[in-house]
Amino acid sequence: MGYPWIMKRHLFLLALILCAPGCFALKVDNEKAVRSEYREREHFFLFGLVGEATVDLPAICSKGVGTFGDQMSPLDGALTILSLGLYTPRTVIVECVS
């Protein structure tokens, strides 16, 4: 009945492609001295295609924002892989100036 190991190989490669999260990050830096840091996990779904995050920067940093951005932490990546991409969290990082 053909070559079953080829079918298994193709299914494995397909699963790997579908489950591997894309790597991307955003960081904005205004080159001021940073004193405090704020981290929050934002929730996205379907490989990050569904969901929206809003961060109120003036409420978090009353004296100004040093840097802000987002990243996929190792825990975020593990949660994405375990959920097969259905749940794709990102960690928002805001650093405030003093």
Give percent of the chain above pLDDT 90. 1
The pTM assigned to this predicted structure is 0.61
| pLDDT, tens only, 72-82 | 888 888 888 89
35 with 97: CB under 8 angstroms? yes
Q: How many CB atoms lie within 10 A of CB 90?
A: 22
Domain coordinates in residue numbering, the chain: 4-97
What mean pLDDT, rounded, does the chain reach?
A: 76
Residue 32 is predicted with a pLDDT of 61
Tens-digit pLDDT profile for residues 54-95: 888 888 888 888 888 888 888 888 888 898 888 988 888 888
pLDDT at position 64 is 80
